[in-house]
Amino acid sequence: MEVNDELVDKLAHLARLKFDETAKAEIKTDLQKMIQFVDKLNELDTTGVEPLLHMSDNVNILRADEMKGSISREEGLKNAAVHDEHFFKVPKVIKK
């Protein structure tokens, strides 16, 4: 798989990141190396091997349906960049 400008731009957009041209060149090289590494793993024949979907052996770590652990609105809003008494505030999503 070839890592080209188009792919880097697409990934940057999906991750909401922005880089200048120098950074983009470096990222292209790094990404190419990562993909080569994974391609190497792909050489292994995994026919009949179940895909690993989780790293730990733990299962069914569940909780009972109980209400606990909530914090107050005031505490919740405290660290927000912009907020009023009731809401988190973000730039207008829908422009009227």
Partner 1 sequence: MKTEDKYEVVIGLEVHTQLLTQSKLFCGDSAAFSTHPNTHISPITLAHPGTLPRMNSKAIEYAVKLGLAVHCDIEQHNYFARKNYFYPDLPKGYQVSQHTTPICKNGFVKIKVGETERNIRLNRIHIEEDAGKSLHDVDENYTSIDLNRAGVPLLEIVSEPDMHSSDEAFAYITELRKLVTWLGICDGNMEEGSMRCDANISIRLKGEPKLGTRVEVKNLNSIRNVKRAIDVEVLRLIGITESGEKIIQETRSYDADNNSTFSLRTKEDADDYRYFAEPDLTPFHITDEYLVEIKNSLPVLPEALKKHYTEELQLPEYDASVICEDKELADYFEELTSHCKNYKAAANWLLGPVKGHLNDSNSGFNSFSLPPAKLAALVQMVDDGKLSFGMASSKLFPALIAQPEKEPAALAAELNLVLETDSSSIEQWVDEAIAKMPDKAAEYKKGKKGLIGLFAGEVKKLSKGKADMQIVNELLNKKLNNS
Q: Catalog residues that contact partner 1 under the rule CB under 8 A.
A: 14, 16, 53-56, 58-73, 76-77, 82, 84, 86-94, 96
Considering the complex, what minimum distance in angstroms separates the CB of residue 21 from partner 1?
24
Q: Is residue 77 classed exposed, middle or buried when 0-12, 13-18 and 19+ CB atoms within 10 A define those classes?
A: middle
In this structure, what DSSP letter does residue 83 have? Answer: B
Considering the complex, what minimum distance in angstroms separates the CB of residue 95 from partner 1?
9
Interatomic CA distance for residues 61 and 82, integer angstroms: 36
The residue (of 41 and 94) whose beta carbon lies closer to partner 1 is: 94
